[in-house]
Amino acid sequence: MAKIDPRKQDEILHAAADWWVKLREPDTEGEAVEQWLAWATEDERHLETFERMNELAGRLGSLDAVSRQGLINAFTRPAAPPRRWLPLAVAASIAVVALSGTYIVWRNGVSSVGSQVYASAVAQNKDITLPDGTQVALGAASTLTTHFSHGQRRVELSQGEAFFQVIHDNSRPFVVAAGNVSVRDIGTAFDVRRTGERVTIAVTQGRVQIADTHPSPGQEPRGTLEVSAGQLVSYDPNSSGMTIGSITSEQATGWRDDRLDFIDEPLSVVVANLNRYSVRQLHIADADLGKLTYTGSVRTDAIDSWLSALPQVFPLRVSTGGNEVILSDAAYPSHR
């Protein structure tokens, strides 16, 4: 095997480090990615070095000036025998590179991104930066899945709540799917909360387009609804359509400051969202109680205080035992 010129290897290491940083920048555009692909395919050592660097950089967690030099130094040590690489001709190449936990797959010079799942635990909010630079605040007990491709950025909110500050890109629409509802960004910051099949969308900046993607049997597909900052859209599959109201930015994102705000919400929805923040789960024993509507705020760090005051608002009884709280109709004997 021919001996590699140390100066050439050092040059490749520095170039790989530069590309690693550049590809993680929020404003990186398609032209830069195409340039990276050209660099990666011109020499098999380029892609090999980049993958090794990405693997180690993932363990570092960040890449400031000091850690970057340490990263480069680590790669100057002898490495394990290289794997045999597939031919890198662009017409038939398949290069898999891990970036921020998301796999980018290159086929014939066209990019597609595999799914990435983000999840939070009960009583745990989490801040996320998506590969395109979009900032997401994920609420407690929430699950988000991204599907980024060359032509679209699609996000699915399976449960819970998320606040999006979207990096706008006309060439790649940003769409959030939550049950039967899709929300398309138009240069926006907005909050989406999904409770079962009920969905609320609160816009704090810019505009969004909202559509019912799966109308009920016998119903005609509804047109796209466009709403702007300060508006709240509520979707209930059991009602005749979407309702529009008003909401402040503070109300829309209050959960980020340990406060859940509800506007004419069924008590069943209130309880379901409080359960994302409560170690002791709340249960409604009588179905009719769940239909009662509630407007107000609940501190997620003072749920017990809210429960103590609840019988003064609704005709119900609060019973505690073990790791659960039972809400039952006060007109009937206790369920315990």
Q: pLDDT tens for residues 140-169?
A: 999 999 999 888 899 999 999 999 999 988
Q: What is the mean pLDDT of residues 295-303?
A: 96
Closest C-alpha among 269, 272, 276, 274 to residue 119: 276
Computed on alpha carbons and rounded to an integer, the radius of gyration of the chain in Å comes to: 25
Q: Which residue has the higher pLDDT, 192 or 24?
A: 192
Domain ranges of the chain: 6-111, 115-253, 258-336
User: Among 79-83, 117-121, 205-209, 298-302, which is the least confidently predicted range?
Assistant: 79-83
Per-residue pLDDT tens digits for 72-94: 555 455 444 444 333 333 332 33
Q: Which residue has the higher pLDDT, 224 or 310?
A: 310
User: Topology of domain 258-336, per CATH?
Assistant: Phage tail protein beta-alpha-beta fold (3.55.50)
> 54 falls in which pLDDT band (50, 70, 90)?
low
- pLDDT over 60 at 26, yes or no: no
CB 307 within 8 A of CB 288: no
Closest C-alpha among 200, 264, 198 to residue 232: 200
- pLDDT over 70 at 57, yes or no: no
User: Among 74-83, 151-160, 235-244, 316-325, which is the least confidently predicted range?
Assistant: 74-83
**Other C-beta atoms lying within 10 Å of the C-beta of residue 316:** 20
Provide the pLDDT for residue 104. 41
- pLDDT over 70 at 97, yes or no: no
Q: What is the mean pLDDT of residues 89-116?
A: 41
Distance CA 197, CA 212 (A): 12
- Give the range with max mean pLDDT: 16-25, 172-181, 213-222: 172-181
Which residues make beta-bridge pairs with 225? 210
Q: What is the mean pLDDT of residues 291-319?
A: 95
Provide the pLDDT for residue 217. 57
Q: What is the mean pLDDT of residues 212-241?
A: 79
Q: Which residue has the higher pLDDT, 93 or 333?
A: 333
Closest C-alpha among 120, 234, 227, 231 to residue 180: 234
Q: Which residue has the higher pLDDT, 90 or 111?
A: 111
CB 119 within 8 A of CB 144: yes
Q: What is the CATH number that goes with domain 115-253?
A: 2.60.120.1440
Q: Which residue has the higher pLDDT, 72 or 325?
A: 325
Mean pLDDT, all residues of the chain: 79
The secondary element (H helix, E strand) that includes residue 159 is strand 153-165
Q: What is the mean pLDDT of residues 91-118?
A: 45
Distance CA 335, CA 33 (A): 62
